[in-house]
Structure 1
Amino acid sequence: MAGLLLRIMISGFKLDWTLISPVYCKLRWYGLQFGVLTSFACTCLAAIDQYMCTNARLEWGQWSTADVAHRLIIIMTITCLLHGVPYLIYFNLVRAPIAGEISCTSDNLAFRQYHTYGYLIILADAPLIMTCIFGLLAHNNVHQLAHRTVPLVNVL
Structure 2
Amino acid sequence: MINNSSTDFVISLKYNHLSQQFTKYFGVILYIVCFFGTMMNVLTFMQRTYQRRACTLYLLVASICDLIHLNFGPLSNILQYGFDYDWTINSNAFCKLKSYIVFVFTVLSATLTTIASADRYVLSSRKTARWKLSTRSIALRCILFSIVFWIVFAIPVIFCSIRLNHSSHNEQLICSNSSQQISCLLLQIIYTCIFNGFLPPLVMLYFGILTCTNARHLRHRTLSASARIRQINYQLTLMLILQTIKSSFASLPFSVFNCYLLITLNLKKSPLYQAKENLVNQVVYLLFWSNYTSFFVYVYSSDIFRYQCLRAIKKLTCRFYRGQQRQLYYHRSELRYLTANASIIEEKYKPSQIL
Q: Note if 1:122 corresponds to 2:197.
A: no
**Which amino acid in structure 2 is aligned with residue 112 of structure 1?**
C
134 and 17 in structure 1: CA distance in 2 versus 1, 3 angstrom threshold? same
**SS state of the match for residue 93, structure 1?**
strand
What is the TM-score when the length of structure 1 is the normalising length? 0.79
Structure 1 residue 68 displacement after superposition:
0.8
Match of 1:154 in 2: none
Q: Note if 1:39 corresponds to 2:116.
A: no
Task: Find the aligned partners of 2:221 and 2:121 in 1 and give their Cα distance.
Answer: 16
Q: Which has the higher contact order (CA 8 A, sep 6+)?
A: 1
C-alpha contact 1:34 1:81 (8 A) present in aligned 2: yes
Match of 2:154 in 1: 84
Match of 2:266 in 1: none
Aligned pair count reads 149
Task: Find the aligned partners of 2:207 and 2:222 in 1 and give their Cα distance.
Answer: 22
Unmatched 5+ residue regions in structure 2?
1-70, 225-355
Structure 1 residue 147 displacement after superposition:
5.6
RMSD: 2.8
**Which amino acid in structure 1 is aligned with residue 104 of structure 2?**
F
**Which amino acid in structure 2 is aligned with residue 114 of structure 1?**
L
| CA offsets 1:89-120 (integer angstroms, 9 cap, x no match) | 22122458xx9754433365123322332112
Match of 1:6 in 2: 76
53 and 17 in structure 1: CA distance in 2 versus 1, 3 angstrom threshold? same
| CA offsets 1:32-56 (integer angstroms, 9 cap, x no match) | 2112210110011001111001111
**Which amino acid in structure 1 is aligned with residue 114 of structure 2?**
C
**Which amino acid in structure 2 is aligned with residue 121 of structure 1?**
C
Identical pairs, percent: 24
Q: 2:97 aligns with which of 19, 23, 27?
A: 27
Match of 2:209 in 1: 136
**SS state of the match for residue 126, structure 2?**
coil
Structure 1 residue 148 displacement after superposition:
5.6
Higher Cα Rg, which structure: 2
Give 1 or 2: higher helix fraction: 2
117 and 9 in structure 1: CA distance in 2 versus 1, 3 angstrom threshold? closer
